[in-house]
């Protein structure tokens, strides 16, 4: 049996002002009427699985619960007191599975990806199962379609059944290096998705990251139920080193494998990715909301609350929300995180939340706020 582990703790800073700390991109309806989290849960249908673990920040607990309820999906919501990256989250999921005597294959999926070809995704999962059962830690490498500077890459080694031995990880390249990697033909985009046996992962952590495993074990041992949530023990989890599974385990593991994934995948990591995924008009523009574009080409315009117009511009991102407007050249889409850092240094509240505030009983929107 496969135990899905949905990593729901991402921040999505490159999609500001749509994505905020209190409403990050996994909860947004960016590409359909369903949120990215709900789409992630949907694509498990057809795979023989147990109800998923939803690993997320405690601040988002009611968002997670409401989106599961809205989608009529079951799942165990596990709350992290603070973000500690992917390696500890997966460790806690593995420990929770082992605590009830199970030793399942963990299918680790970020909650904020889009996959256009679900059947191809499920085929790749099926190909990965024999390798995971043999003790390999399997990741999924996306077949690249163009030179991409926003993703890390995976170098493939010797052939291994339907996949390859994982030779190495390659950091996000510049444009020239990305073109070289595409031409080589033996590299894949790093998707951040995995299939691995719970006990095998824990054994690797014991060898490579014993301090992390000790902290996660204490956090799980001290976990307690709170309504429909399971809260990890706060003090030990906060002591846990923060690290990704790539750096903490996969780069050092002798039994790492990669399965190719050719399924119209995107991590929706930037507005440029949104533009590429959507159906553009004859001028290359993608428009959402009330917008009028004149003498404008190859632009993404998203209007949430008012009319947005453009005139005589090209290759722009124009993102309008109720309290913030972003205007940027499309070639700067990957650098919005730098703008977010500047806003954070100035203490701008627009990074944390929108005027719409979510509560267990629903939501409300602040109409006006002023001194006194």
> Which has the higher per-residue pLDDT, 254 or 212?
212
| Structural element, H or E, at residue 359 | strand 356-359
Average pLDDT over residues 342-353: 90
Identify which of 112, 124, 2, 122 has the alpha carbon closest to the alpha carbon of residue 64. 112
Residue 352 has pLDDT above 90, yes or no: no
Average pLDDT over residues 155-160: 94
> Which has the higher per-residue pLDDT, 366 or 312?
312
Phi–psi pair at 192, nearest 5 degrees = 80, 20
Q: In the structure, what pLDDT confidence band is assigned to residue 12 with cuts at 50, 70 and 90? A: confident
Question: Which pLDDT belongs to residue 167?
Answer: 94
Return all residues near 95 (Cβ < 8 A) that are at least 6 apart: 202, 216, 217, 220
Question: Which pLDDT belongs to residue 61?
Answer: 92
**CB-based contacts of 314-320 (< 8 A; 24+ apart in sequence):** 317/271, 317/272, 317/275, 318/291, 319/17, 319/18, 319/271, 320/289
Average pLDDT over the chain, rounded to whole?
A: 93
Q: In the structure, what pLDDT confidence band is assigned to residue 370 with cuts at 50, 70 and 90? A: confident
Task: Tell me the per-residue pLDDT of 33-82, one tens digit each, with 9 for 90 and over.
Answer: 999 999 999 999 999 999 999 999 999 999 999 999 999 998 999 999 99
Whether cis (ω within 30° of 0) applies to the bond prior to 17 is yes
**CB-based contacts of 226-230 (< 8 A; 24+ apart in sequence):** 226/79, 228/65, 228/77, 229/58, 229/61, 229/65, 229/77, 229/78, 229/79, 230/76, 230/77, 230/78, 230/79, 230/96
CA distance 164 to 33: 37
Residue 154 has pLDDT above 80, yes or no: yes
Residue 366 has pLDDT above 90, yes or no: no
Average pLDDT over residues 70-98: 95
* Helix ranges (DSSP H) in 13-116: 36-42, 61-70, 86-99
Q: In the structure, what pLDDT confidence band is assigned to residue 140 with cuts at 50, 70 and 90? A: very high
């Amino acid at each position: 049996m496969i135990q899905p582990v949905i990593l729901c703790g991402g921040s999505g800073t490159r999609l500001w002002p749509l994505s905020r700390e209190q409403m990050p991109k996994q909860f947004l309806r960016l590409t359909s009427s369903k949120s990215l989290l709900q789409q992630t849960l949907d694509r498990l249908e057809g795979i023989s699985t147990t109800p998923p673990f939803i690993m997320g920040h405690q601040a988002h607990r009611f968002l997670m619960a409401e989106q599961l309820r809205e989608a009529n999906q079951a799942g165990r919501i596990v709350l992290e007191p603070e973000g500690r990256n992917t390696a500890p989250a997966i460790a806690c999921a593995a420990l929770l599975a082992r605590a009830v005597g199970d030793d399942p294959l963990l299918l680790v999926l970020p909650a904020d990806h889009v996959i256009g070809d679900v059947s191809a995704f499920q085929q790749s999962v099926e190909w990965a199962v024999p390798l995971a059962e043999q003790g390999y830690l399997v990741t999924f490498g996306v077949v690249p379609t163009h030179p991409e500077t926003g993703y890390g890459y995976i170098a493939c080694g010797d052939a291994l059944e339907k996949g390859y031995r994982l030779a190495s990880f390659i950091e996000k390249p510049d444009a020239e290096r990305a073109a070289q990697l595409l031409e080589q033909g033996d590299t894949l985009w790093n998707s951040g998705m995995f299939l691995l046996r719970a006990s095998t992962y824990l054994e690797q952590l014991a060898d490579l990251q014993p301090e992390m495993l000790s902290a996660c074990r204490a956090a799980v041992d001290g976990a307690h139920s709170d309504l429909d949530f399971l809260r990890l023990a706060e003090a030990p989890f906060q002591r846990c080193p923060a690290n990704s599974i790539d750096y903490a385990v996969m780069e050092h593991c002798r039994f790492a494998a990669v399965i190719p994934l050719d399924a119209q995948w995107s991590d929706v990591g930037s507005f440029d990715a949104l533009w590429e995924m959507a159906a553009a008009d004859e001028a290359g523009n993608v428009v959402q909301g009330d917008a009028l574009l004149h003498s404008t080409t190859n632009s993404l315009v998203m209007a949430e609350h008012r009319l947005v117009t453009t005139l005589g511009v090209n290759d722009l991102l124009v993102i309008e929300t109720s309290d913030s407007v972003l205007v940027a050249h499309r070639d700067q889409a990957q650098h919005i995180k730098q703008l977010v850092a500047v806003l954070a240094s100035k203490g701008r509240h627009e990074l944390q939340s929108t005027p719409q505030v979510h509560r267990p009983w629903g939501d409300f929107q602040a109409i006006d706020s002023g001194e006194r």
